[in-house]
Every structure is written in structure tokens, then in C-alpha cells.
Amino acid sequence: MQTDQIIRFIEIKVRDLLKFFYSWLTNEGEPLGYILGVIHVTFCITLILMVIISHTLYPAFWLQCVVFGVVLIIWLQHILLKVCVIFTTEFKLTQNDPPFYTLIKFFTNLDPTDWAIHFMVAETIAVGMLALSLISRISLMVHEFYKIEL
């Protein structure tokens, strides 16, 4: 499959899922696009908080693995498809600049394409640091397991 077909397939599935959950509220595209924008921003903030919580307040190995897995999947989607599928779905639903664009312009005064480059660098560094964190935890666990008492 081509990347355009994959993006289109995921876009349709996200739109169908959104219509399924919010059909009681509206079936129009623009309000659904703004609802998706709020969900997108909320998910991003929650993921950042989960990274912080999983390394400070509740440093459980399983939680760090789950958080790393989610961040890795998102990073791979951004790298392989060269676009955020949720972003494109917001754009198609609203037929205008997505809500995330407006937030980026308001808070950073950057063009969204420039911001995307900075974001990809930061996201790549974050994935690398989370991977190193897991590798260090695994190496400590292996060391403790094979520790020989003399």
C-alpha cells in the first residue's frame, strides 16, 4: 500500500469512529473537527504528563514500557507517513485550519510547518531518551538477576 492510501484509510476510520461516538451530538464535519482537535490536544498533554509521572511519581517498569510504546507508535507514524493523521483528519473535517494550528500559531508564533520540524526533532530525542531509560532499567534487572554472591 502507498502512504497516501494508508493515510486515507486511517483518516476514514478516525472519522467513522468520531461519528460513532458523537452522532448523538452532531453529524456535521466542522463541529466534529473541533471535537477531534480538543481530543488531540488533550491526548498530547496527557501523554506528556504520563511520561513525567512514569519517571517520577510512579516509576513502574510496566508503565514506562506502555508509555514508550505509545510514544514510539506515534513517532513511527509521524516518520513513516510524514504527517500526523489526526491533524489531516481535523483539516478535512473543518475545511479550515485545524484547531491545533491555531494553538501553535498563538503560543509559539511559528508557522506550523516550521513548528513541525522542531517538533520532529524533539520527538526523536524524546523517543531516544525513553529507549535509553528502558535499556538502563532492563540492564539493572539483568544484573540483579545474575548477581553472584561470594
b/e per residue 120-129 (b: at least 16 CB within 10 A): eeebeeebee
Distance CA 58, CA 50 (A): 10
Instruction: Give the predicted TM-score (pTM) of the model.
Output: 0.85
**Within 10 Å of residue 105's Cβ, how many Cβ atoms?**
14
Distance CA 52, CA 40 (A): 19
Q: Where are the domains of the chain?
A: 3-145
pLDDT above 90 (res 101)? no
Residues 6+ apart with CB under 8 A from 25: 31, 35
pLDDT above 80 (res 150)? no
